[in-house]
Amino acid sequence: MKPILFAAALALPVALASGAAGAQTPSAARTYAVQGDCAGRPAAAVRMAPGYCLGLVWQGRGDEGPRMPRGLLALDHGDWLVTDLGGWEAGRGAVWRLSFASDGGARWRRLATGLSMPHTVARGPDGRIYVSEMNRILTLDPNAADPAATVRTVIGDLPDNRLHDNRHPLSSFVFDGNGDLLVNVGAPSDRCLDAPAKPKTDARGACAEEAATAQVRRHAYLGDGRWAEDSTVFASGLRNSIALVRHRSGTVLQAENSVDLDTPDHPYDEINLLTQGGHYGWPYCVDLTTPLPGWSARQARCADRDQPIALLPPHAAPLDMIYYDGAMFPELRGRLLMTWHGFRRTAGRVTAVETDERGRPLTDVGGRYAVYPRGAMPYPAGAPSVKGRVLTPGWDRVVGRHPRGSPVVLAVAADGSIWVTDDRSRAILRIARP
């Protein structure tokens, strides 16, 4: 019998409401109860894989701190930068600096406000800090006396994909080995359909929405914190590339949030190996070579598209990938850590995927994935699925103990612990040794 490679969680409630004034306070159903110690932090009552615990670093109350924490970046002396989505409306986002008092209590300082759905925060090849908003990438100096005064647009005029008008408003990025910026531009709709089974096409029969969206763009590095405003298309046919990662060998991986069909067991999410000029199927194909409903096999030409190197559980909604290089967990070194953020029965997980020397996921054929509350489902016959383990197998909702997990971004601290944001429960957590 093939092993169950990954477990998953039940559906999550809708994200924190963005229309209410002020910060949100999690309801009792979204509050993490704590019991015992997790390497110096209160231990959240979440069942973890043996040898791991989940510490509660912070959970928001009242007006202090981010409303929807997303991105994480470790700074010197134990401080962190945290991006705050703020809500699904432009201008509600912020960048915060998190530091800690001698008793471990969180201390927040808001560095920049009025941002539009900020997500990724990363250090560039020049050592500066860069942040992605919905429609631009900016830089700022968190150590300046007035960090807001240092905000400068690096790349502007990215597509302004507003949620509910369009489906994937967030931008993210990674730096290539030569300093170029690889920037995600999400698809402007779920399936490129005007109505069920009626594709939006141009005179050539191609999806009319794909020319400037549903792609990863390359912006050439000009040096000294400058990038070309003009871009070239690195890879296309990608519905949602929030999860991007580059391995030191040069491998670039993308984790695809596939289309939102109503069926709980289809379509599968994906990991794609991105190469220059590749087209990875959106909106024509899902899984390996399955035409999406609404497109004929002749229109879709799935055999001509670049296929994923591995399938993930349906609707897992991967939002981040990093390679673990810390000291705390030697057994995880070199593995690809992922967050599964979705709201259906396969999501709410932090996973560790086995990789080869070039950072590509190792795969199995005939594997199964677990679903909540109990049970397991098979991957398609003959399809490759990722090999690895779930670090948070019990992160489904347990009344009175903890909410269902909604992990977003991962980061490795100086001590090798793994930090993770939970935007729906307004929390920051830390995976460590018990």
* Ranges of each domain in the chain: 65-157
pLDDT of residue 24: 64
Residue with the larger pLDDT of the pair 30 and 1: 30
User: What average pLDDT does range 406-416 have in this prediction?
Assistant: 97
For the stretch 359-394, what's the b/e string if a residue is b when 16 or more beta carbons lie within 10 angstroms of its beta carbon?
A: bbbebbeebbbbbbeeebbebeeebbbbbbbbbbbb
pLDDT reading at 210 higher than 90: no
pLDDT of residue 370: 82
Relative to beta strand 232-236, strand 278-279 is parallel
pLDDT reading at 13 higher than 60: no
pLDDT of residue 427: 97
pLDDT of residue 433: 97
* pTM score: 0.92
Q: What's the CA angle centered on 132, arms 130 and 137, to 5 degrees?
A: 70
Distance in angstroms (rounded) separating the CA atoms of residues 429 and 48: 13
Residue with the larger pLDDT of the pair 29 and 114: 114
Contact 105, 99 (CB under 8 A): no
pLDDT of residue 384: 96
Reduced 3-state DSSP string for 259-304? CCCCCCCCCEEEEEECCCCEECCCCCEECCCEECCCCCHHHHCHHH
Strand pairing partners for 121?
131
Contacts of 392 (CB under 8 A, 6+ apart): 46, 48, 49, 54, 348, 349, 350, 405, 407, 431
Distance in angstroms (rounded) separating the CA atoms of residues 85 and 69: 6
Distance in angstroms (rounded) separating the CA atoms of residues 232 and 219: 7
Average pLDDT, the chain: 90
pLDDT of residue 161: 67
- Identify the band that residue 199 occupies on the pLDDT scale cut at 50, 70 and 90: confident
Distance in angstroms (rounded) separating the CA atoms of residues 139 and 228: 15
- Identify the band that residue 96 occupies on the pLDDT scale cut at 50, 70 and 90: very high
pLDDT of residue 29: 78
Position 187: which residue type?
A
pLDDT of residue 52: 98
Q: What percentage of the chain exceeds 70 in pLDDT?
A: 91
The position carrying tokens 């306070």 is 25
pLDDT of residue 375: 79
CA 425 vs. chain centroid, Å, equals 16
Contact 365, 382 (CB under 8 A): yes
Domain 65-157, CATH: 2.40.10.500
